[in-house]
Amino acid sequence: MADIVIVFADPSNPIVTDLAIVHDNESFTVQWSAVNAGVKDVPAFVDMFEITRIPEGCPGSDDTKHDVVFKTDASEAQLAAGAAGKLVEAKVGPFPAGSYRLTVELAADLDGIGIKTFNCIEIVRAT
């Protein structure tokens, strides 16, 4: 095991929204949580969060450049070895109907200790 490794608290659902169905006329919250899976404490760090529009539909292709429609950083407190961080909640939207990748890179400012993943969601037209 590496000395410091930051992973998602729920590897099966690492990035989720607060709404089961997201409509194009509403804001929503994107949530994730980090865990220090290493054996050493980690100083405070910053997660990178961005949303990209995926015109070809979910999950999209990594070979295609997509338009970033939202980007921000989220500060996290230091984490002791084995400790979980607080739930990070980013309020976003509304966005036009379509497919979107919600991408989070944990500890983006601490080179090489965090992981990056995404969740692709569909935003539907409000009726």
DSSP assignment of 10-34: -TTS-SEES-SSEETT--EEEEE-E
Residues 14-36: what's their mean pLDDT? 97
Q: How far is Cα 91 from Cα 22, in angstroms, rounded to an integer?
A: 13
What are the pLDDT digits (tens) for 80-104?
Answer: 999 999 999 999 999 999 999 999 9
Lowest mean pLDDT among 15-19, 96-100, 109-113: 109-113
Residue 61 CB partners (closer than 8 Å, separation 6+)? none
Q: What is the identity of the amino acid at 71?
A: K
Residue 2 confidence (pLDDT) above 60: yes
Q: How far is Cα 74 from Cα 66, in angstroms, rounded to an integer?
A: 22
What are the pLDDT digits (tens) for 36-76?
Answer: 999 999 999 999 999 999 999 999 888 889 999 999 999 99
The answer to whether 60 touches 66, Cβ cutoff 8 Å, is yes
The answer to whether 24 touches 126, Cβ cutoff 8 Å, is yes
Q: How far is Cα 55 from Cα 11, in angstroms, rounded to an integer?
A: 26
Res. 112 pLDDT band, cuts 50 70 90: confident
CATH topology of domain 6-124: Immunoglobulin-like (2.60.40)
